[in-house]
Chain A
Amino acid sequence: MTLVRGGISGNETGLSDMLALINSSDDSQGIPVAFNFLRNFTTEGIEPYLHYHCLLSALKPKITFGNYDMVHQEVLDRSSHLYSSSPDIIVAALYLDTYLPDGWRASWSADDVMNSLAGLFADIAGNTDAIIVVNTFVPPFYADFGISSVKDFSSHHNEVLRLNQLIRAYVFSTPARFVLADWERFVRLLGENESMDYRFWYMSRSPFKKAFLELYALELVKVARALKGKSKKCLILDCDNTLWGGVIGEDGLNGIKLDPHSYPGNVFYEFQKSIIRLHERGVLITICSKNNEQDVWDVLDGHQSCILKREHLSAWRVNWSDKVSNIRDLATELNLGIDSFVFVDDNPVECGLIRDMLPEVTVLQVPEKLYTYPPLLNRDGLFDTLTFSSEDRQRSQLYRDEAHRKHEQAKYETMDQYLASLALRVTVHPATDNEISRVAQLTQKTNQFNLTTRRYTEAKISSFCNDPDWAVISLSVQDKFGDSGLTGVMIAHKEGDTGVIDSLLLSCRILGRSIEKVFVLEALSIMSRLWPVKTWQAEFAATPKNQQVAEFWPSIGFRQSSLLDGHTFYTLPFAVPELEPISYIAIEEQQ
């Protein structure tokens, strides 16, 4: 199945070719699905796109349109198309300019319009048993009062945005009957130029271009698929170059690419997140890989960045047999139809084999442009179910998180109380082999909290790690909202009984919580155990970007010793600085 790439471009198949497929389609094939549009604008333009994408999903559509701008009448008239077409899916397609013809002139309130919409929606729901798809409205692209519009909170623009939120809330509160086609999101994805057909709007009241209509059609097809039980239920994943970069059997646990912070490991990490989300939605996750089974478990059980774990899997086939037999086996074991599987593999030969031998399986190949990989499982709505579409689910999660944070912040009277509530946990230890590339990257990218701004390659960091007179200490930070990962580095070496701090840098996103002080304290005590040093020497090298740390060394008890060519040198006459411990940060030294 080839579907539009998440609305990034709807231009893959021409209208003419779509119609060729539609005209030649076999009427006896496909699951019937009936759509009826209740609309107040020329909606017929969507027909070929909706028909075409239904056919690609093995659905046989019947598409009817109610009379132009007769939405209420159609609902009230028991002999209208709405009832005679026995629709499975009613699409209430409402365009704001027609729904609210005086909206541009008189001020109106989103609440009033929502009340009237809710009355209409309830009428449709009360008179039919179809799924009802409603839309948000396209917000104006230009400000009513130009640059001063931002001050005018009652403007048309803001009211449309508010109305859209009310519509979303309405749909969200009635999940069994209503589904949202979020036009506002469509125009955000596509932009005005790809969405709006002003020519046919003014000539024929048909306001949308192909890309918009195709995106709209795809949302409707997702609803039809879910309604007709064609939602995919199970994911079959290859391992090497699908769950991680590289080949575990050759590259080993530390050689494969999989981590949250550096390319391309971060792409695979992100892809794994989408697997976990599907798991949370109830999709079964399985593995089908040509590998030694133990190698695969080594990664799932033991790789620190492999968030896909053995307990997420419902079944697996890790062996050297052909994947067709393995997939048939999995279907039997899980008691699922072959057509409920989605298969993901990087190997074009395997993908082609499954397409040929098991055409009911949806085959997704890891894209060559690896950075386009993470949304692969999400963009086509293959696993969508009606009671909780992927979008609604994500939205509700975001709402929950945001509400949670706000709630947390409001709960505490002082900043210290809030910080204490974050359950901050820092991990400080000599950099491990699989941290080297991230450490090098941080030295190359960090500008603001960077005391000396020395840039190092991976090879150089590696040589420091292997030199007994040098030490590279890494900092990782977690709080209860999530893992910030490796976000701080100190590099030092010893000269006799003096420890010389060569570099100290922290990523901006963890600042403001006194983590830097805890890190220095902890790093110096670790190194004092490695080397019996009596004093420390530190340095600040000013750059245009690091002024915020000009006073850092004095702030933790170092004394200025000399000044040379923009470099300020400091000394600390003890092995470990005397600092008040910070009670709200927990420290771990484990490797």
Chain B
Amino acid sequence: MMQHQEQKLKEVLARIFNVQPEMITDDASPDTIENWDSLRHMNLVLALEEEFGVEFTDDQVVEILSYKLIKIVFKEHGVEFVQ
């Protein structure tokens, strides 16, 4: 189940930024993914909320600027991943 969540998260990011899922490493961020601009970040927020049934706070919207940070914020919402 948790494995599945991780996979799903990578898939959402890959789709939003139109890259191969292998590109979504723990370090994935606007620095490593060219398409991760402010406009696509908005779509990322919306897609994550839609797919995982959470609602980010205004601070979190700005914070989740790397794959690692997304997982940390998700944990605060009770979405668990494999460590």
Binding site for B on A (CB under 8 A): 14-16, 19-20, 23, 42, 44-45, 48, 199-200, 203-204, 206, 210
A-B contact pairs, 18 of them (CB 8 A): A14-B50, A15-B43, A16-B50, A19-B16, A19-B18, A19-B43, A20-B15, A23-B15, A23-B18, A44-B42, A45-B43, A48-B43, A199-B58, A199-B61, A200-B42, A203-B62, A204-B38, A206-B42
Name the residue of chain B whose CB is nearest to the CB of A15. Answer: B47
| Bound-complex Cα distance A204 to B43 (A) | 12
The reply to whether B15 and A19 contact each other, CB–CB distance below 8 Å, is yes
The reply to whether A45 and B42 contact each other, CB–CB distance below 8 Å, is yes
Instruction: Name the prevailing secondary structure of the B interface residues.
Output: helix
List chain B residues, Cβ under 8 A from A16: 11-12, 15-16, 47, 50-51
| Bound-complex Cα distance A200 to B38 (A) | 11
> B23 near A: Cβ within 8 Å?
no
Q: 8 Å CB contacts to A: which residues of B9-41?
A: 11-12, 15-16, 18, 38-39
| Bound-complex Cα distance A200 to B12 (A) | 20
Task: Kindly list 13 other residue pairs between chains A and B, CB separation below 8 angstroms, not including A16-B16, A20-B15.
Answer: A14-B47, A16-B12, A16-B15, A16-B47, A19-B15, A19-B16, A19-B43, A19-B47, A45-B43, A199-B58, A200-B42, A203-B61, A204-B38
| Bound-complex Cα distance A123 to B73 (A) | 49
> B54 near A: Cβ within 8 Å?
no
Name the residue of chain B whose CB is nearest to the CB of A14. Answer: B50
> B2 near A: Cβ within 8 Å?
no
The reply to whether B46 and A15 contact each other, CB–CB distance below 8 Å, is yes
| Bound-complex Cα distance A48 to B43 (A) | 9
Instruction: Name the prevailing secondary structure of the A interface residues.
Output: helix
* B44–chain A nearest beta-carbon distance, Å: 9
* A38–chain B nearest beta-carbon distance, Å: 17
List chain B residues, Cβ under 8 A from A20: 15
* B38–chain A nearest beta-carbon distance, Å: 7
| Bound-complex Cα distance A48 to B11 (A) | 17
List chain B residues, Cβ under 8 A from A42: 39
| Bound-complex Cα distance A210 to B47 (A) | 10
The reply to whether B51 and A14 contact each other, CB–CB distance below 8 Å, is yes
| Bound-complex Cα distance A384 to B61 (A) | 40
- 0/1 string, B43-70, CB within 8 A of A gives 1: 1001100110000001001100000000
* A492–chain B nearest beta-carbon distance, Å: 64
The reply to whether B42 and A210 contact each other, CB–CB distance below 8 Å, is no
List chain A residues, Cβ under 8 A from B47: 14-16, 19
* B79–chain A nearest beta-carbon distance, Å: 15
| Bound-complex Cα distance A575 to B15 (A) | 83
Name the residue of chain B whose CB is nearest to the CB of A200. Answer: B42
List chain B residues, Cβ under 8 A from A200: 42
| Bound-complex Cα distance A15 to B42 (A) | 12
| Bound-complex Cα distance A14 to B62 (A) | 22
List chain A residues, Cβ under 8 A from B15: 16, 19-20, 23
> Among the interface residues B16, B42, B61, which one has the most CB atoms of the partner chain A within 10 A?
B42
A-B pairs with lowest CB-CB distance, top 7 = A19-B15, A15-B47, A16-B47, A44-B39, A16-B12, A23-B18, A14-B50
Name the residue of chain A whose CB is nearest to the CB of B39. Answer: A44
List chain B residues, Cβ under 8 A from A14: 47, 50-51
* A148–chain B nearest beta-carbon distance, Å: 34
| Bound-complex Cα distance A385 to B51 (A) | 37
| Bound-complex Cα distance A203 to B59 (A) | 11
List chain B residues, Cβ under 8 A from A19: 15-16, 18, 43, 47
| Bound-complex Cα distance A45 to B46 (A) | 10
Name the residue of chain A whose CB is nearest to the CB of B57. Answer: A199
| Bound-complex Cα distance A117 to B59 (A) | 38
Residues A15 and B50 in contact in the complex (CB < 8 Å), given A203-B58, A203-B61: yes
List chain B residues, Cβ under 8 A from A203: 58, 61-62
| Bound-complex Cα distance A200 to B42 (A) | 8
* B14–chain A nearest beta-carbon distance, Å: 9
List chain A residues, Cβ under 8 A from B61: 199, 203
List chain B residues, Cβ under 8 A from A48: 43
* B47–chain A nearest beta-carbon distance, Å: 4
> Among the interface residues B11, B15, B46, which one has the most CB atoms of the partner chain A within 10 A?
B15
